[in-house]
Amino acid sequence: MDKVKVLFVCLGNICRSPTAHGVFQHLVSERGLSQQIEVDSAGTSDWHIGRSPDSRAQAAALQRGCDLSALSARQVSSADFYDFDYILAMDNQNLQDLEQVSPAGFSGYLELFLPYGNIGEPREVPDPYYGGEQGFDQVLDMVELASTGLLNHICKRQGWS
């Protein structure tokens, strides 16, 4: 059986997408699906390649039992469109940037991530980088909801319980 591969994308890959990566990976592990689902994250920019997630994102996630320290920022590559089934953007600008570089033959899901949380509005995960620590907690709240919804969606599509 092929793995389902999920890529989370934000601008710099140091706040929102590694948070989604870590939270979703944690849920996948809790459900015993690590052999069936592969998770990664990337940024549309090359600003932070090789850097660890923002220390505030790491601290907020760790308070909820999710360790982001092993993650390292990378930029989206053309190969990602051939490797991943789900490429999920944190906001509309990153979605537009991804759509511009997506090859015509991409057959996966290229869409916003937050709607999987079924919360209505907002539809975008706000960038907490320039705000205070409460912004990272808000992002975690949103990401946890959307991650649960995404995992349920994938399990239903794949026929997994």
Angle between helices 16-30 and 55-63 (to 10 degrees): 30
15 annotated active-site: no
- 54, 80, 91, 127: which one is catalytic? 127
The two tokens of residue 126 are: 């706000």
76 Cβ contact list (under 8 Å, min separation 6): 7, 9, 42, 43, 44, 87, 98, 101
pLDDT at 78: 95
The two tokens of residue 70 are: 């092993």
- 10, 15, 54, 56: which one is catalytic? 10
Does the pTM surpass 0.95? The reply is yes
15-47 confidence digits (pLDDT tens):
999 999 999 999 999 999 999 999 999 999 999
Q: Which residues of the chain have pLDDT under 70?
A: 1
At 75, phi and psi to the nearest 5?
Answer: -100, 145
Q: Could you state, in order of their start, the residue ranges of all structural domains in the chain?
A: 4-158
10 annotated active-site: yes
Alpha helices in 31-159 (DSSP H): 55-63, 80-83, 92-101, 133-158
- 16, 40, 74, 80: which one is catalytic? 16
CATH superfamily of 4-158: Response regulator (3.40.50.2300)
16 annotated active-site: yes
